[in-house]
Chain A
Amino acid sequence: MFDTLDMHILEILFEDARITPEQVSVMTGADVLEVRRRVKRLEDERVLIKYPAMINWERTEKEMVQAVIEVRVQPQRDRGFDAVAARIYEFEEVTSCYLMSGAYDLMVMLEAPTLKQLAAFVHAKLSTIESVTGTATHFILKTYKYGGAVFEGKGTDRRLAVTP
């Protein structure tokens, strides 16, 4: 059961995971011990998975190739797509993996240091999985927005500075 306090906690941490339980307590009026208890529970239930920073790697020196791969697979008896999805997402190159409706089955997002390594992953690892029947690889050229944050260009506040 999710109540308003859970929603508050999730919305606050989604916006800025650095906010402390003490600050959450101020912002919600809930006791700080209660906030800690809730956070623990949300973590245990794997609602709160991880607290990473959102990084625009394109602004760094790091060399990196990113791609989206559409994967068609043969679902397995009793296990559907889950088993093959697990085989795919266990590779460290895979950053995201989704089951999709539409023309293909899995959408796999990949990251590798070079184009060569990424290509090697697709033909040596991904395509050789037995139930994979086809792939289509799309390279990411530029990130405009990710996880709700605009990467290119500055968010602008167009409001008048002072209004009655």
Chain B
Amino acid sequence: MMDYSRIVNQSVRAVPPSGIRKFFDIVAEMPDAISLGVGEPDFVTPGHIRDAAIDSIEQGMTQYTSNWGRIQLRALIAEYLRERFALHYAAKDEVLVTVGGSEGIDLALRAIVSPGDEVLVPDPSFVAYAAGVRFAGGVPVPIPTPAEDAFRLRPEVLRAAITPRTKAVIFPYPNNPTGSVMPRAGLTAIAEVLADTDIIVLSDEIYAELSYGGEPHVSIATLPGMRERTVLLSGFSKSFAMTGWRVGYACGPREIIEMMCKIHQYTIMCASIQGQIAAEQALSRGLENDFQDIQAMVRSYDRRRRLMVDGFEKMGLRCFAPLGAFYVFPSIAMTGLGSEAFCEKLLYAEQVACVPGMAFGASGEGHIRCCYATAVDKLTEALKRIERFVKGL
């Protein structure tokens, strides 16, 4: 008998599988279930973007591209970041096109982390960071960002977590799962803590376009002294409803981006050419019409965001008012249930799927993540069912 548990890489084996897998299997069997467990827009990719990809197939554009990604796309990404977020990157060697934002996270970690290095990971946050750190041989160090701090990273908490082994800090704002954002004042304080260190900021800004409340997203890389120590990670999935195309990008100091490109070159070769051409269409049209599609999408999410916060507050669940992404993260503490038990009971009792907060780290316990990228009538119905469930506890 082969003992595979000894054969497989031990650091891979030690990473627990994503905690929400079993919910997925249960929901798949329930025809009337309303899923607030999704993590993608409820829009399909706009027609003009799909057409651009179809045209490219018909024209026989079916080859590899440069490892870095098509120069046309990189130039558009650079222009887009300059126009929308006042970020300045050279298309030639500071922009790398990746297979979704997720590949960018993995590449950045592998390019930076040496065995035993510590990477600070705000908790709660997206499930892939800590796993990625482990795969890279590093040690993920959770830094709590509790509800009392509006799920923001506080400078003194960051300072206290830094050790001589700290190589990088993940900076996931706007945040999945909480919807928390970092306003400029908060960023300035973080920048001051990092100023005299060699710590690299991996700023995951995939939700940057989904910011509410009138304050546009500010990238930490725009703060004085931060560009040289920041790798910006983003992609097209959330802001252009292009999740399945798998196109993302990483921008940063040439020396780091080159290392990331080296790994990318030997593992991925390049992102799919159709995805890249579709992304070019998304950006060039957006730059022409001031990103009207995004503006309309943001207005629509903003209404649903308010609807959800109001719905949870009215049923007696404290709900942090998020200013980014498309999730609400209400507290279920008053029910006395753990987040996993709550989600499981809710699913069986009312056929509403949410994601337990603890899937995003220990500080997420006592909360559930609900995605509001779903039609208003479904959200209203889901709120009704959750309320009935909570009242019946």
Interface residues of A (CB under 8 A from B): 4, 7-8, 11-12, 15-16, 19, 23, 26-29, 157, 159-164
Contact = CB atoms under 8 A, between A and B. Distances in A.
Nearest to B37: A162
Contacts of A160: 24, 38
A161 B128 CA distance: 18
A20 to B, nearest CB: 12
Contact of A163 (B39, B302, B376): B39
Contact of B377 (A16, A28, A157, A159): A16
Interface of B: 18, 20, 23-24, 27-28, 33, 35, 37-40, 42, 126-128, 296, 299-300, 302-304, 306-307, 310, 353, 355, 359, 376-377
Contacts of B304: 27
A160 B27 CA distance: 10
A162 to B, nearest CB: 4
A161 B306 contact: no
Contacts of A29: 306
B222 to A, nearest CB: 25
B128 A27 contact: no
A23 B296 CA distance: 19
Contacts of B296: 11
A161 B303 contact: no
B42 A157 contact: yes
B299 A163 contact: no
A161 B353 contact: yes
B33 A161 contact: yes
A16 B303 CA distance: 13
Given A161-B28, A162-B27, A164-B18, A28 B40 contact: no
Contacts of B28: 161
Nearest to A164: B127
Per CB-CB distance, the 9 closest pairs between chain A and chain B, nearest first, are A162-B37, A163-B39, A27-B303, A161-B27, A162-B24, A161-B35, A164-B127, A26-B310, A159-B38
A161 B38 contact: yes
Contacts, number: 62
A37 to B, nearest CB: 19
Contact of B355 (A11, A26, A157, A162): A162
A161 B34 CA distance: 9
A164 B40 contact: no
B123 to A, nearest CB: 15
Contacts of A162: 20, 23-24, 27, 35, 37-38, 353, 355
A164 B299 contact: no
Contacts of B310: 26
A150 to B, nearest CB: 13
A161 B377 contact: no
B319 to A, nearest CB: 13
Contacts of B306: 26-29
Contact of A164 (B33, B126, B300, B377): B126
11 contacts: A8-B302, A8-B303, A15-B376, A19-B376, A26-B306, A28-B303, A159-B42, A161-B38, A162-B35, A162-B37, A164-B18
A7 B303 CA distance: 11
B303 A163 contact: no
Most buried by B among A29, A161, A162: A162
Nearest to A29: B306
A11 B299 contact: yes
Contacts of A161: 23-24, 27-28, 33, 35, 37-38, 353
Contacts of B37: 161-163
Contacts of A4: 299
A39 B265 CA distance: 57
A163 B40 contact: yes
